[in-house]
Amino acid sequence: MDRARTTPAPWAAARCAAAVSLLAAAAIAVAGCGAASPAVTGSPAATSAPSEASTPHGTSTSSAAPTPSASLAAPASPGPPLDRPTKNHPLRIYFGGDSLSGMPGIELGILTHRSGLAKVKAAYVESSRLTYDQPVDWPARLKQQLRAGHYDVGVFMIGANDSGMPMIAGGKSVMYPARAWLQEYERRARRIAAIMLHTGVKRVYWVGMPIMPSSSESKKMRGLNKLFEAVAAGSPDIVYVDSYSLLSTRSGDFKTSLRSGDGVHYTDAGAMVVARAVWNAVKRDWGGG
């Protein structure tokens, strides 16, 4: 079932006008709300930014088990600081992914509008995924949109539609959590980050998947997040931003007050929590907080 397929009622009712304006000019009305401090993992400088893969989606890299823990063990060392933005030269931020990225992208535009330090394009596509190139081929879409937009920062959040989907790896159809599935999925995530960096983005912020209403779905999201953390650990120019703990209670349970009626998408407050986590990570990378 597509977990991030439909747009919740609060989004459709309260944010429709803001979304249209944000996508067109990234200049929308100011709003604010408090949020918990974000958990952000910096990337080790042991390896350089990943090169863009040219391997087609259906090709697996090897049959060995994924080894994200090896790279995550290295000491964190972020890349060079971002240039400090000004109102005359704001950061241009691209926020892509499935529908779970949509509301945080819109809220990030709202959050940054008052200072004028960023212009945000919320470029989400409902029901999109990395396991299959429908309804959108993300590598092709990113190449086109990022080259045309000249963005400084790329933010990406995807995965809610992926863990239940088959994927072609090594010429075979495999399912999560098979080794080949995990390996191929991580390769595709690395390619997304590499495309962003090779089209001019100076820093990529990969937002992890949130906690879900059921323990089984939450376990899948944690599994994907390990892969995303491994991707971030491969380059000093990729930063992993946690959303799982931010959208959980102090005891680590599902926090209903931050999620919409479907249990998957966010309330406006929940989306702002994610947006604020991303913005705080960006600010730290130019020394702004």
Per-residue pLDDT of 128-176, as tens digits, reads 999 999 999 999 999 999 999 999 999 999 999 999 999 999 999 999 9
**Predicted pLDDT at 40:** 53
* Residue 205 Cα distances to 15, 141, 171, 219, 264, angstroms: 24, 18, 31, 22, 21
Average pLDDT over residues 243-256: 97
Distance of CA 255 to the CA centre of its chain: 20
Q: Residue 27 pLDDT > 80, yes or no?
A: no
**Complete domains list, the chain, with CATH:** 35-284 (3.40.50.1110)
Q: How far apart are CA 62 and CA 90, in angstroms?
A: 42
Q: Which residue has the tokens 């080259």?
A: 147
**Predicted pLDDT at 158:** 98
Q: How far apart are CA 123 and CA 180, in angstroms?
A: 29
Average pLDDT over residues 23-27: 35
DSSP state of 254: B
Q: How far apart are CA 257 and CA 48, in angstroms?
A: 40
The model's pTM is 0.77
Query: Around Cβ 53, how many Cβ atoms within 10 Å?
Result: 17
Q: pLDDT for 36-91, tens place per residue?
A: 334 555 443 333 334 443 333 333 333 333 434 333 333 345 678 899 999 999 99
More confident position, 38 or 118: 118
The two three-digit tokens of residue 159, written as one number: 């995965």
More confident position, 178 or 288: 178
**Predicted pLDDT at 287:** 87
Tell me the HSE value of 143 on the side-chain side, using a 13 A CA sphere.
8
Q: Cite the beta strand spans of the chain per DSSP E.
A: 40-41, 91-97, 118-124, 153-157, 167-169, 172-174, 203-207, 238-241
**Torsion angle of C-alpha atoms 262, 266, 269, 273, degrees rounded to 10:** 140
Q: Which residue has the tokens 């499935």?
A: 98
| Share of residues in the chain with pLDDT > 70 (%) | 73
Q: Residue 21 pLDDT > 50, yes or no?
A: no
H or E stretch covering 268:
helix 268-284
**Predicted pLDDT at 62:** 32
